[in-house]
Structure 1
Amino acid sequence: MNAFDVQLIVDEVPEGIVDELIDIFEGTTGHDHTGSAFVNGFIEAPTFLDAVESLSRWLEERGCVAQRVDLDLATRGDIARRLGATRQAAANWAAGRRGAGFPAPFNPVSGGVWLWGDVVAWAIEHGRLPHETPRPPQAEAVTLANSFLLRQSVG
């Protein structure tokens, strides 16, 4: 089993589920910078898709519809801060001057933004984070999870 940090954009957060979400998933709720409601939780599961399925079904049973996985994107500055490194170190990783195999940007806009899950996988592999760190999704897992959620909302 792996520990996954799952954050889903939802239609709305029904009254009364917050305490249960905290107790079961060490979860949180809120709104992102666009005003979209989200639910976050830590889930142990074999795969990220299994974790998303578990949380989305739990939410659905309580009248909350999961729309998509929230993309946790990070700039080089964010990467440096989150990994406890300098901005120069993050710039060197991104440029391929240090830390072989650093992931490609998720989007090259404004010097690049990375999917945090790709960076975490790299950081664990290179000893910059402990192996037991909860794993945010990598790009392929996000695609699979969003396909699942789309099928659930259509079906």
Structure 2
Amino acid sequence: GLRGGWNMYQYPLNPIQVIDPMGLDAIENMTSGGLIYAVSGVPGLIAANSITNSAYQFGYDMDAIVGGAHNGAADAMRHCYLMCRMTKTFGSTIADVIGKNHEAAGDRQGQPAKERIMDLKNNTVGIACGDFSAKCSDACIEKYNTGQLFGLDGIKADNPIKAKQGSSDASNY
């Protein structure tokens, strides 16, 4: 439940729990999870969970380098990376539906329209990377370095990111 302990109404090893662990957005879970399950079954759900975790870690690592975890550069790269990996795994059509559905869930929770537009633009960049690039991390870093990602206040790649930089090894993704 919400106070801790075991939730008797949720499968405890749910592979899509990262999407909505408390079941507060059933629409997103039914649409995205149901679509992935219909196409790829349980292995697809497990892959989607792994991709989501990897995207959040990528965003966290990029935030340590360039900042902007919320509506800035790191957020843009996380969206790019997530959609790139989803495209490589499930195809561009399903990745697009997942991305749009996720932003629709944000709209239901009061997300500002500017944030949704920014995220959808970065999702589109990520889907294109998934269709045409060998490695999602490298492709999204390149999109950042060349100013092709979007942030609410703009993104300036004053310090281009290298594949290996600082304590974060972006080439791990």
- Normalised-by-shorter TM-score class: under 0.3
Q: Which has the higher helix share?
A: 2
TM-score normalized with structure 2 length: 0.26
Question: Higher relative contact order at CA 8 Å, sep ≥6: structure 1 or structure 2?
Answer: 1
Q: Which has the higher strand share?
A: 1
